[in-house]
Amino acid sequence: AAGYGRAVARILDYHALPEILGVVAGSSIVWVAPRVVQRTALVHKQINYLLKMNLNS
């Protein structure tokens, strides 16, 4: 959704996943740098879980 990039980045920063090296956000875009490229699928699953968890709170 437009305009939620920074909010998503704040959620990711708050949870400080060790697999994420860094997060850069614009108003509608979030760029996530995984610590290890081979674990990108795991990072994707973790992000999906966190976002679903925050929707239900």
Average pLDDT on 2-30 reads 94
Q: What is the mean pLDDT of residues 29-56?
A: 91
Query: The whole model's pTM is what?
Result: 0.80
- Between the alpha carbon of residue 36 and those of residues 6, 22, 40, 47, 53, the distances in Å are 23, 12, 7, 15, 24
State yes or no: pLDDT of 57 exceeds 80: no
Whole-number pLDDT of residue 19: 97
Q: What is the mean pLDDT of residues 5-23?
A: 95
What local confidence, expressed as pLDDT, does residue 17 receive? 95
- Pick from 22, 18, 23, 9: which is nearest to 51 by CA? 9
Percent residues over pLDDT 90 in the chain: 81
